[in-house]
């Protein structure tokens, strides 16, 4: 069974930081492309940052670029999203996603979320004063 377990969500003030972690099991880690998606109430799920584990290629949304950093650690089969200078617009449920069928971070970011193979249960991020 493929499992994605997220952690690190919480509540912070604007300008604060959070670190989200996704630990993956049940699938060869280096064959995956992994991403973080977010969904706010009433809005569609959207890609924030993605990484191709094998080659290290990364993709960021325009809003994430410069504030968020995605990285992977093969020793722990984990993907981390470092979130800095958070804004209230970042408030959402954040989901870790993985797929072995896309060869690039861009490919995972562009595909409709319903076609992504594996999902975590999500972790809530709230940014407010």
**For 52-106, how does the pLDDT look when each residue is reduced to its tens digit (9 = 90+)?**
999 999 999 999 999 999 999 999 999 999 999 999 999 999 999 999 998 899 9
pLDDT for position 111: 93
Distances (CA, A) of 101 to 15, 80, 110: 36, 21, 13
> Which pLDDT band, with edges at 50, 70 and 90, does 107 fall under?
very high
Q: Rounded CA gap, 80 and 89, in Å?
A: 20
Buried b (16+ CB within 10 A) or exposed e, 39-74: eeeeeebebbbbbbbeeeebbbbeebeeebbbebee
Q: Rounded CA gap, 120 and 18, in Å?
A: 18
Q: Please, are residues 95 and 120 in contact by the beta-carbon 8 Å criterion? A: yes
pLDDT for position 103: 83
pLDDT for position 6: 98
- pLDDT-above-90 percentage for the chain: 98
> Which pLDDT band, with edges at 50, 70 and 90, does 37 fall under?
very high
**Helix runs in the chain, H state only:** 105-110
pLDDT for position 118: 97
Tokens describing residue 34: 């992994």
Task: Write the CB contacts of 74 (distance below 8 Å, at least 6 apart in sequence).
Answer: 29, 30, 53
């Amino acid at each position: 069974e493929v499992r994605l377990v997220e952690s690190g969500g919480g509540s912070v003030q604007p300008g604060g930081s959070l670190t989200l972690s996704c630990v993956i099991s049940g699938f060869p880690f280096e064959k995956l492309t992994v991403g973080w998606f977010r969904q706010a109430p009433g809005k569609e799920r959207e890609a924030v940052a993605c990484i191709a584990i094998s080659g290290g290629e990364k993709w960021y949304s325009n809003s994430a670029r410069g504030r968020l950093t995605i990285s992977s650690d093969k020793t722990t089969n984990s993907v981390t999203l470092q979130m800095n200078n958070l804004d209230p617009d970042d408030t959402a449920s954040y989901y870790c996603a993985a797929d072995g069928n896309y060869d690039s971070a861009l490919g995972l970011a562009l595909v409709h979320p319903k076609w992504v193979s594996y999902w975590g249960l999500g972790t809530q991020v709230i940014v407010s004063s």
